[in-house]
Amino acid sequence: MLRFLVALLMMVTSMGAMAKSILVLGDSISAAYGIDVDQGWVTLLQDKLNNSKDHSGYTIHNESISGDTSAGGLARIGQALALHKPSVVLLELGANDGLRGLSPVAMKNNLIEITRRAQKTGAKVILLGMKIPPNYGKRYIDLFYNVYPQLAEELHIPFIPFILEEVALDPAMMQADGLHPNAQAQPIIADKIAAYLFPLL
């Protein structure tokens, strides 16, 4: 009986920890490349949670690494899930696969496996869509971007279309490299992601 009560207490404690944890698995877009981390959309999203009457208990754990690919995310997801026990995973990977001209099929398979591993722990996954510059050619660009809606439909998970849609073509919102949003763009990105995240919590 004592063992049962201890096991039940551990289960309740584990569920409580999971219910208040959000994991961001991404690349430079989520790692606040080129700007202060406190200005990045992940920090701004945490501020929104803190100021929300309904979601103030949630903590975001940012496991994003600049330059990371979907393969890199797959290699890291197990440890991140075990460490943070998230109830939600914001999956923002793939852009570097595209910029390196890697296989969209391999990228899709990696993102599928990341999603499935997260779901096995009970976490919900939100897929954050990305696009690559037009100089990669229409065929490759279409193959790359179509991975996101296809994967979302196949796995029945929420999908946020290109998260830089409102900022990518505005020079005032982008850093000099034309690839990374600047500090001015971060609140827009945070608002867009919050619109999908908050109803899921």
Q: Point out the residues that are catalytic.
A: 28, 177, 180
Please write down the HEC assignment for all residues of 71-127: HHHHHHHHHHHHHHCCCEEEEECCHHHHHCCCCHHHHHHHHHHHHHHHHHCCCEEEE
Helix (H, G, I), strand (E, B) or coil at 184: helix
User: Percent helix, strand, coil in the chain (nearest 5)?
Assistant: 55, 10, 35
Hunting for tokens 């490759």 — which residue is that?
140
The residue type of 58 is Y
DSSP sequence for 32-44:
TTTS-GGGSHHHH
Specify the pairing of strand 59-62 against strand 124-128: unpaired
